[in-house]
Structures are given as structure tokens and as C-alpha cells.
Amino acid sequence: MILRQCYLKMGKMKKCFILSSNAEHFLPTLKGAVLPGTNREGKRYFPDGEIYVKLPEVKKMKGKRVIVVHSGLPRPNDGLIELELILEILKEHKIKPEVFFTYFPYGRQDEVFEEGETNAAKAIVQKLTDYYKVKKIYAIDCHFGKKNWVKKIPLLENVSAVPFLMKRARRDWGKNILFLATDQGGQRRFNLPGLEKKRKNSFQVEVFLPEPLAEKIKGKSVCLVDDLIGTGTTLLEIGALIKKYGAKKLLCLAVHGTLAKGVKKIKKRFGKIYLTNTINNPGISQIDITPLILKTVKSSC
């Protein structure tokens, strides 16, 4: 109840969006958003490769609801340093912001598989909340959505763009599309039936189609749903399997395009691809998720 009242109060405050360099492509659609300033040479990098960050209007942000929008790609490592410097500046001015990840960096390192590893995603979340005192973290279709450790962090909200994309697909192809998740993780995150996958390495996977699903595919328009497109290997293998079972039309729906070459491969083999601009991929991303950002921020108040 107290948390809810806090967000209601935040909703009445004037919003201020700060865009990191990786999220700069939202500047035309997020009206009033600001970018970090540049150094004396008009650049964001020093000659030695170190990042420069400045918020010239930081004093004007006091008393406002400040939301930092950041994408984990491209430049995942530089992006994290830039984000931390932005948050450090805000912390020094006693401003407690919210952070909106359109794509969460290191989100696939979301649990410990072998001795000596760490849960990188959880570590980033804890640093933002514990050290930088971030009020709220939003992440669009993060790989770790609905995992047990996420449920214990109330300040972390997984926002799904999948219903948004499914609506677009149904508008184009009718209501009888069969949506299938590409693996067990997708079934958990998107609440969809789907295939089973066993990964051999970073480039090879084995996919299996449960028999009840195989019987439903023939003559159907099938849309494969995944959180991201990397090398495209998994989707290509699954697509070939779906065609083998007699699908009439093969479509693809993905939120994040992490590797442009993978997206291009998928475009050649699928009838239609629905991909958002959570990551800046000029000429590849199709669907702007600014309305989802604004709706989420508004509804969280």
C-alpha cells in the first residue's frame, strides 16, 4: 500500500527522461527527453577510449520524476559504464531515478551454472538498487523474467512486448495464427505452448516438437516467438522443422535483435518478421516500442 502511494505521488510529478547513448534513437519519439552532454571537443569519448558523461541540466531535474532509458546493446560494456556515471551524477544531487532497460545487458547470465561463475544480471540489479538507490527498474522481456530470484525483488518489473507484437501479427494475418515459443524458457516467460531445445554450444542446438503440437501445425500459419534473435541458428532449425510438419505460413516474432546478421538470415527464410527497436538496428528493426515505455511508466504510478 505504501509503495502504491509512492507511485501515485510520482505520477503527479513532471517526468524527465534521460537517454543513454545506446537509447539515443528514442529521442524523436520520447518528447522532452535529454541526452548526456559532451566534452569540450563535442565528443562522448576521450582520446584514450574512456567515456565522458555530463548532465548540464541536473539541477533542474530536482523535484521531477527522473527516468533513465538505456539499452544494453550495442556497446554493452561502455553502455554500463555510461549508465553508472549518469546514476552517480544523479546520486550526488540526491535524485533517486528509475531505470528503464529496453534491453537488459548481461541478462542471459542470469544464474550460476558452474563453479566460479556469478549471476551477472542479479548483480547489476542489486548494484542499481542498493548503491545507486534506484526507485524502480523496468526491463523489456528480460531473459530472466519470472525466475525465482526475480520474484524476490519487488523493484524489478519485467515488461513484455510480446502481446504488443502478437496484436500486430493478428492484424496482418488473422486471429487463427498458432503462436509457439521456441523453448522452455519462452513457454515460461510468454505463457505459450512450444518446442523443447537442448543447446550443444553457442552455435548448435537440438530442437524437439511435442507430438500434440505436431498434429496442430499442418495447414496453419505458425508464428515462432522468441525473446531475441542472435545468430539465428535456433530459429532457422525450428523453422525447418515446422515446415516439415506442413505449416502453411511461417512467421517470426522477436523482441530484441542482438545480431544484425542473424536477423538478416531470418528475414530470408520467414514469410514475415516482427521485431522491435529495443536495440538500435537501423534498417532492421520495424516496430517502435515508445508507446509501451510510456504506457508502462504511466501505469506504474
Give 174: exposed, middle or buried? Use CB within 10 Å, 0-12, 13-18, 19+.
exposed
pLDDT (0 to 100) of residue 197: 72
Task: Decide if pLDDT at 10 tops 70.
Answer: no
Task: Decide if pLDDT at 1 tops 60.
Answer: no
Beta strands in 20-97 (DSSP E): 65-71
Task: Decide if pLDDT at 91 tops 50.
Answer: yes
Task: Decide if pLDDT at 200 tops 70.
Answer: no
pLDDT (0 to 100) of residue 68: 98
Q: What is the pTM of this model?
A: 0.90
pLDDT (0 to 100) of residue 195: 87
pLDDT-derived band at 204, boundaries 50, 70, 90: low
Domains within the chain, CATH numbers bracketed:
2-160+289-299 (3.40.50.2020), 162-275 (3.40.50.2020)
CA distance 141 to 159: 6
pLDDT-derived band at 4, boundaries 50, 70, 90: very low
- Per DSSP, helices labelled H in the chain are 2-11, 76-92, 120-130, 148-151, 162-173, 184-190, 211-217, 233-244, 260-269, 290-299
Task: Decide if pLDDT at 220 tops 70.
Answer: yes
pLDDT (0 to 100) of residue 234: 84
pLDDT (0 to 100) of residue 203: 59
Tens-digit pLDDT profile for residues 184-197 = 888 988 999 998 87
pLDDT (0 to 100) of residue 165: 96
Task: Decide if pLDDT at 252 tops 60.
Answer: yes
